[in-house]
Amino acid sequence: MKNFLTIFLLMVLFTSCTKQDKTENVTTRVINELPHLKFTSLDGTIKSTRDLPTPLILVLFNADCDHCQRQAQEVGKHLNEVSNITLQFIAADDLPTIQKFATEYGLNNQPNLNFGRADATDVYMNFGSIPTPAIYLYSADKRLLKNFKGETPVAELVAPFR
């Protein structure tokens, strides 16, 4: 009986270690290229992040988050510095709340700034557990250049694109 218990525990330990390695590989693969995250734009159109123009700054935010609000203010103050980069803001809030957020921070009428809504589960499946704002910079070939967790000055956001 003692030998059986020892063998059983060793099998459980081996199995749990093997599963962790597979999870880490999936996370690394997904994070290095622009994921296929479906979202609904403010006009109700269903889009995918893979179809967005690049270079791209993808901002995952929450309209009630004070850090996200300060990030929107920062972007609004430096619109000329991001004029040649697509910025896509995506939240899990409802569309009217996202529209209000875009309007409140003066980001709603910018040709290169877009807002949309994605399901929180889809965001989690593509990016894992993230703080807001979470900012991802993608090159013209849809490769991850850099990511930021939390408020980030616009100068740091545009530096990798220079």
Instruction: Give the model confidence (pLDDT) of 17-38 as tens digits.
Output: 544 444 444 343 346 899 999 9
Radius of gyration of the chain from its Cα atoms, rounded to whole angstroms: 20
Q: How far apart are CA 128 and CA 69, in angstroms?
A: 22
pLDDT single digits (tens) 137-147: 999 999 999 99
Q: Residues with Cβ < 8 Å from 66, sequence gap 6 or more? A: none
Local structure of residue 3 (DSSP, 8 states) = H
CATH architecture assignment, domain 34-161: 3-Layer(aba) Sandwich (3.40)
pLDDT of 53 > 80? The answer is: yes
Over residues 66-116, the pLDDT tens digits come to: 999 999 999 999 999 999 999 999 999 999 999 999 999 999 999 999 999
Domain extent listing, the chain: 1-31, 34-161
Note whether 42 and 95 are within 8 A (CB).
yes
Which is it for strands 38-41 and 113-117: parallel, antiparallel or unpaired? antiparallel
Q: Residue 16 pLDDT > 80, yes or no?
A: no
* CA dist., res. 43 & res. 39, Å (int): 11
Higher pLDDT, 1 or 52: 52
Q: Is the pLDDT of residue 160 over 70?
A: yes
